[in-house]
Amino acid sequence: VQLQASGGGLVQAGGSLRLACAASGRTLSGGDMAWFRQAPGKEHEFVSTIKWNTGRTYYANSVKGRFTISRDNTRNLVYLHMNSLKPEDAAVYYCAARIGSLSIFATTPDLYNNWGQGTLVTVSS
């Protein structure tokens, strides 16, 4: 699966952005999609995941209530709607895909087989 993330940019604190991840090369049916982020000098941090078939979602506590993950099955797209952005949300955001869903929500990078190139989100205070 090839993943292409887009939608990053500069936004003021309190603002919104929508990230998109386009998947190609293989069906995502039965898999999981996720967003991770990495701030300078930090490890990859789990943000959110969605199960492709059922649409069930899971969020990190730090973004719950502010971010929404969704998918468009017909277009093989996954979105991350980010509202009420804070300076601490600034990072490079990566989309990731797992071929083959787990019974649990996959929240660690090692559980994902495919990664996009990342899109930079900058939040000014």
d(CA 78, CA 14): 23
For the purposes of burial, counting CB atoms within 10 Å of the CB of 108, is it exposed (0-12), middle (13-18) or buried (19 or more)? exposed
pLDDT in tens, 48-86: 999 998 999 999 999 999 999 999 988 999 999 999 999
- Per the CB < 8 A criterion, the answer to whether 33 and 95 are in contact is yes
Q: Say what percent of the chain tops pLDDT 90.
A: 84
For the purposes of burial, counting CB atoms within 10 Å of the CB of 5, is it exposed (0-12), middle (13-18) or buried (19 or more)? buried
Q: Look at residue 63 and give its three-state secondary structure.
A: coil
* Tally of CB atoms within 10 A around 111: 17
Instruction: Identify the residue with better confidence: 46 or 104.
Output: 46
Continuous H helices in 1-125? none
Query: Does residue 30 carry a pLDDT above 80?
Result: no
- Per the CB < 8 A criterion, the answer to whether 30 and 40 are in contact is no
Query: Does residue 26 carry a pLDDT above 90?
Result: no
d(CA 122, CA 103): 34
